[in-house]
Amino acid sequence: MADISLTASMRSNLLSLQNTQSLMDMTQERLSTGKKVNSAIDNPSSYYAAQSLNNRANDMSALLDSMGQGIQTLKATNEAIESITSFVEQAKAIASSARDVPSNFDKYAISSEEITAGVDGTIMVDAREDLSEFDMEIGNADTGKKFKVYLEDGTSQEITVNGNDEAGAADVAYKLQGLGLNAKVEGAKIHVSTTDGTMVSWVNDSAAGIAKADSAAKSVTLAQGGNGANSASIAAAIDAAGEDIGLTAEADGKKLSIMAEGKEFRVFADSANKDVFTKLGLLGDRGAGNAKEISTERKSYAKQFNDILSQIDDLANDAGYKGVNLLQENKLTVIFNEDRSSKIEISGVDASAKGLGIAGAQNDWQKDANIEISISHAEDAIRELRTMASDFGNHYSIVQTREDFTDNLINVLTEGADKLTLADMNEESANMLALQTRQQLAINSLSLASQASQAVLKLF
C-alpha cells in the first residue's frame, strides 16, 4: 500500500468502503448468531451481566430436575398410601365378617373385664347338666342346719331344716314349694326343679350347712391382699372351688375366663357382692358346650387378615422411587435455590403393618374381644394413613409451587440475559440493506474517483 500512490478522493472512498464492509461483517455476525453481544469485546458490561443471568438459570434448571424427581417420589408415596388404605379397609371388613360368625368361646364361656386392682367379695359358681334342677338329701343330723336358694331373677331365700331324714326332707320340700319351685320327695331325697325351666341354685353353709351337699353351688371368697389381688389369683381361686363341679377358670392377661365343658353354668353373687362383680363382668350364665372348640370359619378369616397384613408390608416396601422410600422412614430433601439455603426436608414414616399399629389376628379370633382389637387397630391405622396422606399432600403442594416458581424464574433470567445480548433482527436486516446500498454507492464513488487518473491515458 505504501508503494502505491492514490489520490485523496480515491483514498477517502476506499476508507469509506472498508468501514462499510466492517459494519456489514458485524451485521452479518449478528444476523447469523442472533446476538448483538457475542463476546466481552462487543460489550463487556452486557456480556458478563448476561452470562451471570444465564449461569443462574442453568443452575436453577438443574434444581428444577431435582424438584421434578421429588414430586415423582411424593406421587409414588401417595399412590402407595392409597393402596395401603384400601388393604386396611379390606382387613377391617374381614374382621367385621368374622365377628358375625358365632364364637364358641363367647357362647360357652364368661370373660371378665380387665382387672387392674384387688377386690374383696364372695362369688358363687354353679355348674350342672341342667341348671333348672338339682337333687339334695337331708341327713340324720341336719335339723337346724341352713342353706340358701338363689333363683334366676336374683332373689334368694334362706331355708332352715326342721327335722332329720325323711321328716326334714318333707319340711324342706314344703318350703321350696313356697318359693314357687317343684320339690319331689323320695324318702330323705328331694328333686328340685323350676316350673318354667329357669335357673336355680342352692348354696350350702360349710360351717353350719347340711352334710350331703354334692349338688350345691360353690362359694369363692376373695380378698385384695390374697386370692383377689389380680386376674391370676382370682382365676386360681375360682378354678380350685369349681373343681368338684367341672368348672374351670384361667387368667388371660388382665382378664380371666370361666367355663364348664359340657355343662350349663352360672356365676352369681348376693346383693352385698353383686355390684363389684358386675363391674368385673363376671356375672352371667352360659349353656352347655365346649368353649375351647376351634371355629374353623373364624380361623380362616384370621388367616385372610394376616395375609392382608403381609401385603401391606410388601406394598410399603415397594413404594420407593429412585432409592427413596418415604414409607420406610427414608428422608427426602429437595433443594430450591442454587446456594442450597432454601430447601424442604420431608421425613418418612413406617407404613408397614407394625408401623401402623396393626397386630396379627390374636388367638385365631376365637374370642370376640380379639376381633374387636383388630377392628380397633384397623380404624386407628386408617386415621393414621389419612394423616400421612394429608402431610405428604401438603409437601407435594409446596414442592409443586416451588417448581412452578423456579420454572418461571428461569424464564425471567433467560429473558433478562437475552435483552442484554440478543439482536433486533428487524433492525439488523434494515442495517444490512442500508450497508449494501452504501457499499454499492461507495464502489461507484471509487470508480468515479479513479476516472481522473484514467484521463491521463488520453494524453498518449
In a domain, 227, yes or no: yes
CA nearest 125: which of 292, 251, 291, 286?
286
Are residues 114 and 250 both part of a single domain?
A: yes
Question: In this structure, what CATH number is given to the domain that contains residue 301?
Answer: 1.20.1330.10
If you average pLDDT over every residue of the chain, what do you get? 88
Mean pLDDT of 314-334: 94
What is the number of domains present in the chain? 2
| Residues 320, 228 share a domain | no
SS3 210: coil
Q: What is the mean pLDDT of residues 156-166?
A: 93
Across 46-60, 100-114, 355-369, 382-396, least confident range: 46-60
Q: 454 pLDDT exceeds 90?
A: no
Residues 274 and 334 in one domain: no
Task: Give the residue among 207, 141, 133, 199 at the shortest CA–CA distance from 168.
Answer: 141
Report the 10 Å Cβ neighbour count for 397: 11
Answer with the residue of higher pLDDT: 87 or 48.
87
Q: Which residue, of 384, 407, 430, is where some domain finishes? A: 407
The fraction of the chain above a pLDDT of 70, given in percent, is 85
Beta-bridge mates of residue 158: 148
Judge whether residue 289 has pLDDT over 80.
yes
The answer to whether the CB of 82 falls within 8 A of the CB of 296 is: no
Question: What's the whole-number mean pLDDT along residues 1-28?
Answer: 68
Q: Are residues 132 and 276 in the same domain?
A: yes
Provide the b/e sequence for 109-119 (b: ≥16 CB within 10 Å).
bbbbeebeebb
pLDDT at 424: 58
Q: Compute the average pLDDT of residues 60-80.
A: 92
Report which DSSP code applies to 184: E
Quote the pLDDT of residue 416.
76
Residues 120 and 76 in one domain: no
* pTM score: 0.73
Tell me the sheet residues that pair with 250.
Answer: 257
The answer, yes or no, to whether residue 394 has pLDDT greater than 80, is yes
Q: Domain check: are 328 and 343 in the same one?
A: yes
Domain edge (last residue) among 286, 320, 346: 286
Residue 422 has what pLDDT? 58
Same domain, 136 and 153: yes
pLDDT in the model for residue 313 = 96
Q: Is residue 13 part of a domain?
A: no
What percentage of the chain exceeds 90 in pLDDT?
Answer: 63
Is residue 254's pLDDT more than 70?
yes
How far is residue 134's CA from residue 171's CA, in Å, rounded to a whole number?
17
292: pLDDT confidence band, cut at 50, 70 and 90?
very high
Evaluate if residue 457 carries a pLDDT over 70: no
Does a structural domain hold residue 272? yes
Which residue type occupies 404? Answer: D
Residue 370: count of CB within 10 angstroms of its CB: 22
The secondary structure of 261-322 as a DSSP string is BTSEEEEE--TTTHHHHHHHT--EEE-SB-TT---HHHHHHHHHHHHHHHHHHHHHHT--BT
Within this chain, do residues 156 and 305 fall inside the same structural domain, yes or no? no
CA distances, 258 to each of 23, 115, 235, 308, 382 (Å): 109, 14, 8, 33, 35
Does residue 124 sit in helix, strand or coil? strand
Considering the domain boundaries, does residue 291 fall inside one?
A: no
pLDDT at 271: 84
Please give the residue that has the higher pLDDT: either 302 or 57: 302
Most confident among 15-24, 199-208, 409-418 (mean pLDDT):
199-208
460 part of a folded domain: no
User: Given the DSSP bridges, would you call strands 133-137 and 189-194 parallel, antiparallel or unpaired?
Assistant: antiparallel
Looking at residue 35, the DSSP 8-state letter turns out to be: B
Confidence (pLDDT) at 43: 67
pLDDT of residue 61: 87
Does residue 421 carry a pLDDT above 70? Answer: no
430 pLDDT tier (thresholds 50, 70, 90): confident
pLDDT of residue 79: 95
Q: Are residues 112 and 90 in the same domain?
A: no
pLDDT in the model for residue 448: 66
> Is residue 137 located within the same domain as residue 268?
yes
Least confident of 32-41, 112-121, 284-293, 349-358: 32-41
pLDDT of residue 30: 63
Residues 70, 213, single domain; the answer is no
Instruction: Of 174, 173, 171, 178, give the one whose Cα is nearest residue 144.
Output: 171
Instruction: Compute the average pLDDT of residues 349-371.
Output: 95
* Same domain membership, residue 307 and residue 251: no
Domain that holds residue 270: 106-286
Predicted confidence at residue 423, as pLDDT, reads 60
Q: Which of 268, 286, 304 is the last residue of a domain?
A: 286
Of the listed ranges 172-176, 386-390, 422-426, the one predicted with least confidence: 422-426
pLDDT surpassing 90 at residue 242: yes
- Express each pLDDT in 164-219 by its tens digit: 999 999 999 999 999 999 999 999 999 999 999 999 999 997 677 898 888 999 99
The grid coordinates listed for 202 are 342352692
